[in-house]
């Protein structure tokens, strides 16, 4: 049943692979695709992919990482979910304020076991369609002497759970020393475990901070993933400080956040583990995605009705809504969720999937000789691919063309092309609180210095641009930046600040940066918190005016410079409906800009364009295709001025559109991040994605404005490869 490879358990090619691409029961099939199919295909063979999901609590993946997690489980590849805490909470397996809850005795080990049973049921439903499909449990040592429970699904042993059993914080935000946050901040020297009732695995009594980090390093090494998914390391702060936080011991004080403290601490420990693992030069190419937690309640819903219905089915399995008999007297699921996963506080969580770094399509740009170069963050560092010949391909890479940024970069990178043809890369870097450094985030950039003998662009040293908020703790909430280059070579960097507003900083030729300037906000009463949802965008038109768009709770705001290079000013209300995704700005072909985004609660792709005389914007809606996340947009110039779009469908595949009609073309591979878009030397649009196997895949129009051809994998760089 199992084969040992690279220190981990991997699934043998058994019949369970037949579940790979079946449409989920009750889920959403592909709509609007020209292929008319509900099936997809993996980026490559399942053996070339592996997925690692790291959760704080048993239900985190269902609420915050789906549909991505289910697609991974159904891929046939190794899919491992690490649940760090036992999730014991108050030890009462009943909804709060019910008669059952009031009379039920506290049984934390029993409730922990019930939650693990619910997690297994939801994973079994995703993998096989049967929430009662049996599991096998055995001990696994991530560190010598440190045992955790390894659960693998007998009908699909590529689907595995590792239950570490750490004590949870038991409160969303009340500071508690005995918690992962307490361990991270040094309030306690060790964090104890709390095994679930009936566990046959003798767990360690406690982990130090280093031991917990090393255990996660071992989990990464065991899985050798191509995709890592974590919770949000830098969530949204609460609008007011809590009394509990202000009165906490000094070492536990800090800002109050809208997310669960266990979510945040689990992500911090994973950041430390990835830095330690990749800093030693280990692992195959892997991408990272971090997902919003509770703050999805404060953003418009991002998923359509069919995907939300599927989440509801999974929550019902996790919450033991059918009261099935799983043979465990502790309980077969989390009755606090029960049949109410789409009600109460969890309603927004189940309707929203958002990522901390939404990226932009601008990670491809032409070199001076016309060849395209693409850049992505893998293993915490920038990797580069290049075309062998301008306008022809094939692509080759990845190359380590960019030096270390002084620490792991956040998961996305953006490239701009200066008027002289030089490229400049931008990203964000989170600095962890080790070696005397304060925990903070900063924007960084690096300029191209030339092209090597192998034809690969070379870059100098990274430069820090800081953030609009100097306080380290506030800097952590700096949003994902957007860059725009003016005709005179001035680079404008725009970013959401801690307060939820937008700041801009500019530098001639990407250097000599001026101070941060604050864009204006809507007048009148206090805006909702936050004003700007993660995922703004910017561009500069041919005259040098700067355009900025940003999603807010109920609409999309728009700013434009009154004169070339001037600070953008807020325009009249757009009248656009709320966005369920980050927004993208694209030239409208008339000297202005259009906004591309997904409608809240529908996932439908919308193109909004400003009307004359301040009238509400015109709206064009594309055929629904499911999926979530930012839509890549690119306006061709020259022979064709078509609008090119690319988005994720409800099977996690990239789907392009190559003209102004509402037609979506045949889907390509499953991918992570956002599709990159550029125009080649022949005037054709080129799209690229990072597949779930960590490899670059690209497709090119068959002619300017024509349909896209097939998706081809880049040739792998090897030793003395020349381009």
Verify that 569 and 592 share a domain, yes or no.
yes
Confidence of residue 7 (pLDDT cuts 50, 70, 90): very low
Encoded tokens for 518: 């604050």
Q: Under 8 Å CB-to-CB from 641, ≥6 apart: which residues?
A: 589, 635
Mean pLDDT of 57-79: 97
Task: Give how far Cα 25 sits from Cα of 22, 81, 138, 314, 531, Å.
Answer: 9, 22, 30, 10, 37
Q: In what order do the strands lie in the sheet with 685-691?
A: 671-679, 685-691, 696-700, 712-713
367 lies in a domain? yes
Q: What is the pLDDT of residues 154-182, one digit of tens each?
A: 999 999 999 999 999 999 999 999 999 99
CATH code for the domain of 76 = 3.40.50
Structure tokens at 458: 């070379």
Average pLDDT, stretch 543-552? 96
Is the same domain home to 155 and 118? yes
The domain boundary, picked from 516, 548, 567, lies at 516
Give how far Cα 38 sits from Cα of 74, 75, 596, Å: 14, 14, 25
Give the C-alpha separation, 681 to 688, whole Å: 16
pLDDT value of position 340? 73
Question: Does residue 35 belong to any structural domain of this protein?
Answer: no
Does the pLDDT of residue 33 top 60, yes or no? Answer: no
CA torsion angle 34 36 42 46 (round to 10): -160
Are 64 and 350 within 8 A, CB to CB?
no
- pLDDT per position as a tens digit, 424-465: 999 999 999 998 899 999 999 999 999 999 999 999 999 999
93-109: b or e for each residue (b if 16 or more CB lie within 10 Å)?
A: bbbeeeeeeeebeebbb
Q: What is the dihedral of CA 510, 511, 514, 516, to 10 degrees?
A: 50
**Domain presence at residue 640:** yes
pLDDT tens-place string over residues 649-692: 999 999 999 976 768 999 999 999 999 999 999 999 999 999 99
Look at 19-28, 111-120, 427-436, 611-620 and tell me which has the smallest mean pLDDT. 19-28
Residue 258 contacts by C-beta under 8 Å, 6 or more apart in sequence?
235, 236, 237, 238, 294, 295, 297, 298
Residue 606 CA: distances (Å) to CA of 20, 37, 96, 336, 645: 31, 23, 41, 37, 11
> Which pLDDT value is given to residue 718?
59
Pairing mode, strands 715-716 and 395-399: parallel
* 225 and 289 together in one domain: yes
- Provide the whole-model pTM: 0.93
End-to-end CA, the chain: 44
Q: Is residue 34 part of a domain?
A: no
The mean pLDDT value for 210-220 works out to 98
Q: Is the domain of 473 the same as that of 362? A: yes
Tell me, what's the pLDDT at 15? 28
**β-pair partners for 349:** none
H/E run at residue 215 = helix 209-223
Q: Specify whether 501 is located in the same domain as 635.
A: no
Instruction: Give pLDDT, residue 526.
Output: 75
Question: Higher pLDDT residue, 690 or 613?
Answer: 690
pLDDT digits (tens, 9 = 90+) for 220-243: 999 999 999 999 999 999 998 888
Same domain, 406 and 336: no
Tokens (6 digits) for 417: 């092309």
Task: Answer whether residue 38 shows pLDDT above 70.
Answer: no
Cα→Cα distances 126→156, 164, 507, Å: 11, 22, 49
Give, in order, the Cα–Cα distances in Å from 241 to each of 67, 293, 294, 567, 679.
Answer: 34, 19, 17, 33, 49
Interval 325-370: pLDDT, tens? 999 999 999 999 988 777 766 678 999 999 999 999 999 999 999 9
Residue 20 lies in a domain: no
Q: Where residue 25 falls among pLDDT bands split at 50, 70, 90?
A: very low
Which range marks the domain in which residue 530 is found? Answer: 519-621
Provide the pairing of β-strand 372-378 with 2-5: unpaired
Q: Are residues 496 and 601 in the same domain?
A: no
Same domain membership, residue 74 and residue 58: yes
Q: Do both 208 and 260 map to the same domain?
A: yes
Q: How many CB atoms lie within 10 A of CB 344?
A: 10
Query: Does residue 10 belong to any structural domain of this protein?
Result: no
Q: Are residues 509 and 601 in the same domain?
A: no
Q: What is the 3-state secondary structure (H, E, C) of 453-470?
A: CCCCEEECCCEEEECCCC
Confidence category of residue 67, pLDDT binned at 50, 70, 90: very high
Contact 346, 665 (CB under 8 A): no
- Torsion angles phi and psi, residue 518, rounded to 5: -95, 125
Tokens 């914007």, residue located: 617
| H/E segment holding residue 274 | helix 261-279
Average pLDDT, the chain: 90
Euclidean distance between CA atoms 448 and 192, whole angstroms? 49
**Banded model confidence at residue 44, pLDDT cuts 50, 70, 90:** low
Q: Is the predicted pLDDT of residue 93 greater than 70, yes or no?
A: yes
Q: Looking at the domain assignment, is residue 722 inside a domain? A: no
The yes-or-no verdict on residue 590 having pLDDT over 50 is yes
Q: How many structural domains compose the chain?
A: 4
Q: What value does the mean pLDDT take over residues 503-526?
A: 94
| Assigned domain for 11 exists | no
Query: Which of 516, 543, 570 is the last residue in one of the domains?
Result: 516
Are 77 and 189 part of one and the same domain?
Answer: yes
Beta bridge partners of 657: 645
Q: Which of 305, 322, 351 is the last residue of a domain?
A: 351
When pLDDT is averaged across residues 123-145 and rounded to a whole number, the result is 96
């Amino acid at each position: 049943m199992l084969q040992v490879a690279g220190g981990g358990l991997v699934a043998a090619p058994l019949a369970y692979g037949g579940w790979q691409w079946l449409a989920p029961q009750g889920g959403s099939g592909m709509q609007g695709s020209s292929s008319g199919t509900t099936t997809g295909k993996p980026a490559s063979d399942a053996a070339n992919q592996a997925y690692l999901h790291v959760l704080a609590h048993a239900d985190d993946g269902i609420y915050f990482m789906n549909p991505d997690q289910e697609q991974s489980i159904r891929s046939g590849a190794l899919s491992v979910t690490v649940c760090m805490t036992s999730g014991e909470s108050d030890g009462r397996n009943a909804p709060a304020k019910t008669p059952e809850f009031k009379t039920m005795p506290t049984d934390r080990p029993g409730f922990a076991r019930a939650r693990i049973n619910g997690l297994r049921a939801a994973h079994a439903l995703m993998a096989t369609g049967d929430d009662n499909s049996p599991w096998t449990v055995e001990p696994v040592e991530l560190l010598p002497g440190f045992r955790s429970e390894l659960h693998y699904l007998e009908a699909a042993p590529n689907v595995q759970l590792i239950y570490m059993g750490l004590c949870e914080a038991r409160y969303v935000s009340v500071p508690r020393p005995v918690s992962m946050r307490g361990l991270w901040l040094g309030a306690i020297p060790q964090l104890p475990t709390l095994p679930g009732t009936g566990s046959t695995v003798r767990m360690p009594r406690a982990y130090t901070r280093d031991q917990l980090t090393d255990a996660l390093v071992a989990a990464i090494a065991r899985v050798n993933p191509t995709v890592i998914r974590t919770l949000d390391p830098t969530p949204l702060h609460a609008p007011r400080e809590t009394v509990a936080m202000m009165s906490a011991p000094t070492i536990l004080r800090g800002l109050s956040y809208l997310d669960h403290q266990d979510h945040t601490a689990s992500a911090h420990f994973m950041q430390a583990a990835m830095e330690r693992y990749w800093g030693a030069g280990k692992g195959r190419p892997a991408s990272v995605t971090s997902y919003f937690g509770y703050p999805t309640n404060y953003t418009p819903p991002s998923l359509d009705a069919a995907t939300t219905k599927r989440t509801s089915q999974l929550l019902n399995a996790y919450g033991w809504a059918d009261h099935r008999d799983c043979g465990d007297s502790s309980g077969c699921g989390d009755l606090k969720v029960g049949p109410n996963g789409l009600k109460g506080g969890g309603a927004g969580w189940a309707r929203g999937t958002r990522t901390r770094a939404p990226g932009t399509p601008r990670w491809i740009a032409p070199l001076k000789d016309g060849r395209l170069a693409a850049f992505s963050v893998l293993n915490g560092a920038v990797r580069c691919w290049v075309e062998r010949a301008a306008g022809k391909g094939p692509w080759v890479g990845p190359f380590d063309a960019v030096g270390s940024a002084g620490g792991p970069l956040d998961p996305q990178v953006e490239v701009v092309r200066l008027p002289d043809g030089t490229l400049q890369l931008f990203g964000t870097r989170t600095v962890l609180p080790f070696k005397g450094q304060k925990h903070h985030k900063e924007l960084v950039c690096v300029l191209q210095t030339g092209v090597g003998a192998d034809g690969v662009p070379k870059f100098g040293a990274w430069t820090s641009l800081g953030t609009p908020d100097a306080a380290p703790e506030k800097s952590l909430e700096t949003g994902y930046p957007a860059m725009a280059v003016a005709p005179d070579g001035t680079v404008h960097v725009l970013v959401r600040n801690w307060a939820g507003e937008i700041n801009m900083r500019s530098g001639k030729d990407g250097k000599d940066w001026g101070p941060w300037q604050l864009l204006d906000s809507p007048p009148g009463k206090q805006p909702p918190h936050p004003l700007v949802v993660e995922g703004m965008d910017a561009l500069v038109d041919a005259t040098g005016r700067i355009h900025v768009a940003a999603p807010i709770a109920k609409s999309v705001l728009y700013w434009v410079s009154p004169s070339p290079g001037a600070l953008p000013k807020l325009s009249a209300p757009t009248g656009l409906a709320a966005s369920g995704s980050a927004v993208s700005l694209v030239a409208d072909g008339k000297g202005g800009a259009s906004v591309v985004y997904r409608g809240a609660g529908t996932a439908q792709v919308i193109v909004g364009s400003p009307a004359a005389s301040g009238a509400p914007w015109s709206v064009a809606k594309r055929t629904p295709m499911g999926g979530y996340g930012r839509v890549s947009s690119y306006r061709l110039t020259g022979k064709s001025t078509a609008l090119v779009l690319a988005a994720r469908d409800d099977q996690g595949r990239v789907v392009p559109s190559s003209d102004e009609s509402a037609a979506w073309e045949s889907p390509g591979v499953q991918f992570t991040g956002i599709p990159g878009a550029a125009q080649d030397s022949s005037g054709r649009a080129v799209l690229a994605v990072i597949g779930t196997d960590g490899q670059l895949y690209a497709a090119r129009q068959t002619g300017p404005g024509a349909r896209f051809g097939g998706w081809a994998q880049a040739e792998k760089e090897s030793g003395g490869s020349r381009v």
